Amino acid sequence: MTVEDFKNGQVLLIDKPLTWTSFQVVNKLRWAIKKQYHLKKIKVGHAGTLDPLATGLLIICTGKFTKRIEEFQAQQKEYTGTFTLGATTPSYDLETEIDNRFATEHLTEQLIRNTTQQFIGEIDQKPPIFSAIKKDGKRLYELARAGETTQIKSRKVTISLFEITAINLPKIDFKVVCSKGTYIRSLAHDFGIALQSGAHLSALRRTKIGNFSVSDATTIENFLDAIGSDT
């Protein structure tokens, strides 16, 4: 790719590694492009945040294509991952320690599979308190880490597919296809409530955004190699 390619606009499909923030990926790629092509500045942004504990598809836009970020963000997403039943955490995932444990002896495969039907279609969902949503100018996770409690409004989201792909209690694997704004962590939490067993998200991978697939994505290292960067 040439410097003009990046300025005119590129859509880069990156397979985000575990523990990286989406912002760190953007910063890494922006720095590498600027350094490699001797640029003072270049617009680079991502089309939809992935939590540090999630992996998978991150759409990165450069140059003039950053104007298309909202278009990509609005598209349907597909995720795979694992819920752990029998325990909850304040963040609804593994970012925080387990705060409550629940019985799981009553759980059956039929109950688990049947309960997914409660979450198909348009549903009301509350985002996790540990999220990047802003309230009064502060990120919710900042308030949560400071020990502050806050009321979070529920929002309408649409789940078009919620499929259990494997059951090895207390862990269950799933596939979800959902609208913009859906929190899979909240789905894990709400699913645990519906099962009367508690649950939290223990693994998450974004596999698709619209027609873009993680199978077509590259790693950060391979992208840097492709542009000849030693960063």
Give rounded-to-5 percent helix, strand, coil for the chain. Answer: 30, 35, 35
CA distances (Å), origin 145, targets 14, 96, 97, 188: 30, 10, 13, 21
Burial class of residue 218 in the structure, from the number of CB atoms within 10 Å of its CB (0-12 exposed, 13-18 middle, 19+ buried):
middle
Q: Say whether 51 is catalytic.
A: yes
CB 102 within 8 A of CB 87: yes
Q: Which residues of 151-190 are buried (b: 16+ CB within 10 A; e: fewer)?
A: eeeeeebbbeebeeeeeeebebebebbbeebbbbbbbbbb
User: Would you say the C-alpha torsion 11, 17, 21, 27 has a positive or negative sign?
Assistant: negative
Query: Is the separation of the CB atoms in 51 and 167 below 8 Å?
Result: no
Longest dimension (CA), the chain: 62
Rg (CA), the chain: 19
d(CA 45, CA 151): 30
51, 124, 173, 216: the active-site residue: 51
- Catalytic positions are 51
